């Protein structure tokens, strides 16, 4: 089985809220002293692919669309022993705009040998829209399933388990297929061995420009700007807790209950 996992590099989601700043020009978060990391759901996707490869023969290709530092994400994937790694270098197109990303990934995939299964993280920890898998599937003309947390090979395809609002579903699927992967206790990312981390830096990694996959910056920008961030604000979070007020205990409890309820209602 020939597997492709798409990986995204994002700003460390654990950057403390007090260190979180917004670049008002670019309309994205400032990196500051924070690190760039592999998106966690992408790590789950990679783990799912690795488990699948453990069970049936095949190769895993890792593909990333991102700026130069995103190579690190692929190096980590190589340390976990993916077989091939491709970086399509982002010349500075906004990280928002899943349609741009989907366009690039699809073009890169067309250049590569055919894949049976393409996995992506369900959403990224920065913009978190969860659109890329679906858009990629459409561009490739493949079926797709979201929120998958387990994949196993069966005769003529795969069986997928995915999480739903009410529990879980089992699906059977013919190949090829695109799956977006969510986290569960069955796909906790494994840790690379030190030797593999060291070797990963010597493994071949192909970097493509947009031109090399038959695209140009302008058309990707155009696709990406189908939706556009026009403002971005980090609300000044006051460290102080708001103590519910009220003359009587009942009033305070009522106020408290309503606040709790408002959040619960929105879930």
Partner 1 sequence: MPNVISCLLPGVDFDRAVEGLLGEADRVAKQLGLRHVAVTCSSSDVIQQYAASHSDRVVSVQSHDDLDYQPESCLAMLDAACAALEPRVVLLGQDTYSQELAPRLGYRLGGSSIGDAQQIDADGDRIRVHRSVYGGKATAVVQANVEPVVIWLRARAFSPEPERPNAAPVETEHFDLDGSGNANFQATQIVQRQHESAAGVRLEDAQAIVSGGRGLGGPEPFDELRKLAAVIGAELGASRAACDSGWVAPGLQVGQTGKKVAPELYLAVGISGASQHLMGIADAKVVAAINTDAEAPIFRHCQFGLVDDYRNVIGPLTERLVDLKSTSNE
Partner 2 sequence: MYLLLIPTVAVFGYGIFRRLRQWRIGRPVSRFDRPVQRMIRVLRLGLLQTTIWRDPIAGIWHAMLFWGFVTLTVATTIVLIHHDFNIRIMQGRFYLYFQSLFVDILGVVAMIGITIAGIRRWCTRPIRLVYSDEATWILILLLVILASGYLLEGWRIAATDDPWAAWSPVGNGVAVASLAVLDRESLRVAHVITWWGHMALVFGLIAWAPYTKLLHIVTAPLNILTSNLDAPAGSLEPIDFETAETFGVSSIEQFTWKGLLDLDSCTECGQCTAMCPANAIGKQLSPRDIILSLQQHLSAASRQTEKVNGDQPDGSFSVIGSSSSLAPEALWQCTTCAACVHACPVAIEQYPKIVDMRRYLAMEQADLPDTLQDALTSMEQRGHPFRGTQLSRMDWADKLGIPHIKDVDNAEVLLWVGCGGALVERNLRSTRALAKLLQRAGVRFGILGREESCTGDPARRIGNEFLFDTLARQNIEQLHSLGIKTVVTPCPHCFNTFANEYPEFGAQWETLHHTTYLAKLIGENRLQLDLQSARQITMHDPCYLGRHNGITEEPRDLLRHTIDSDLLEMKLNGPESFCCGGGGGMSFIDEPSDQRVNVERAQQAVATGADTVAVGCPFCATMLEDGIGSLAHDSPVEVKDIAELLWEAIDDQPTTSETNT
Q: How far is the CB of 197 from partner 1 (least distance, A)?
A: 24
At residue 98's C-alpha, the angle toward residues 113 and 139, to 5°, is: 40
Nearer to partner 2, 35 or 186 (CB): 35
By CB under 8 A, tell whether 239 contacts partner 1.
yes
Residue in 197, 199, 229, 244 binding partner 2, rule: CB under 8 A: 197
Q: How far apart are the first and last CA of the chain?
A: 39
Residue in 12, 116, 126, 138 binding partner 2, rule: CB under 8 A: 12
Residue in 24, 56, 154, 198 binding partner 2, rule: CB under 8 A: 198
Q: How far is the CB of 198 from partner 2 (least distance, A)?
A: 6
Which string of b and e fits 37-60 if b means at least 16 CB within 10 Å?
bbbbbbbbbbbbbbebbeeeebeb
Report how far residue 61's alpha carbon sits from residue 111's, in angstroms, rounded to the nearest whole number.
13
Residue in 10, 29, 37, 88 binding partner 2, rule: CB under 8 A: 37
By CB under 8 A, tell whether 262 contacts partner 2.
no
Which structure tokens are listed for 267? 């879930």
32 Ramachandran zone, left/alpha/beta (phi>0; psi -120 to 50):
left
By CB under 8 A, tell whether 235 contacts partner 2.
no
Report how far residue 190's alpha carbon sits from residue 202's, in angstroms, rounded to the nearest whole number.
21
Stretch in the footprint of partner 1 (CB under 8 A) among 46-54, 67-75, 164-172, 198-206: 164-172
Q: How far is the CB of 191 from partner 2 (least distance, A)?
A: 4
Stretch in the footprint of partner 2 (CB under 8 A) among 12-20, 106-114, 117-125, 167-175: 12-20
Report how far residue 263's alpha carbon sits from residue 267's, in angstroms, rounded to the nearest whole number.
7
By CB under 8 A, tell whether 227 contacts partner 2.
no
Residue in 33, 194, 243, 247 binding partner 1, rule: CB under 8 A: 243
Report how far residue 224's alpha carbon sits from residue 216's, in angstroms, rounded to the nearest whole number.
12
């Amino acid at each position: 089985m020939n597997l492709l996992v798409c990986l995204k590099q994002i700003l460390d989601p654990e950057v403390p809220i007090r260190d979180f700043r917004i670049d008002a020009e670019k309309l994205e978060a400032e990196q500051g002293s924070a690190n760039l990391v592999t998106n966690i759901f992408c790590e789950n996707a990679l783990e799912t692919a690795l488990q699948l490869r453990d069970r049936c023969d095949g190769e895993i290709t890792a593909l990333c669309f991102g700026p130069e530092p995103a190579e690190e994400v692929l190096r980590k994937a190589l340390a976990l022993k993916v077989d091939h790694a491709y970086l399509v270098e982002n010349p500075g197109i906004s990280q928002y705009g899943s349609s741009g990303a989907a366009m690039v990934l699809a073009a890169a995939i067309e250049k590569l040998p055919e894949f049976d299964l393409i996995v992506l993280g369900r959403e990224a920890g920065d913009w978190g829209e969860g659109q890329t898998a679906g858009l990629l599937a459409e561009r490739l003309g493949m079926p797709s399933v979201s929120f998958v947390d387990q994949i196993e090979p069966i005769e003529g395809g795969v069986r997928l388990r995915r999480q739903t609002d009410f529990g879980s579903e089992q699906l059977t699927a013919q190949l090829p297929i695109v799956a977006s992967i969510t986290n569960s206790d069955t796909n906790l990312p494994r840790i690379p061995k030190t030797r593999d981390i060291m070797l990963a830096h010597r493994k071949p990694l192909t970097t493509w420009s947009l031109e090399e996959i038959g695209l140009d910056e302008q058309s990707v920008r155009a696709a990406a700007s189908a939706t556009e961030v026009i403002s971005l604000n980090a609300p000044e979070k006051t460290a102080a807790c708001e103590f519910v007020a009220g003359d009587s205990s009942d009033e305070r409890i009522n106020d408290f209950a309503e606040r709790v309820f408002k959040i619960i209602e929105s879930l």
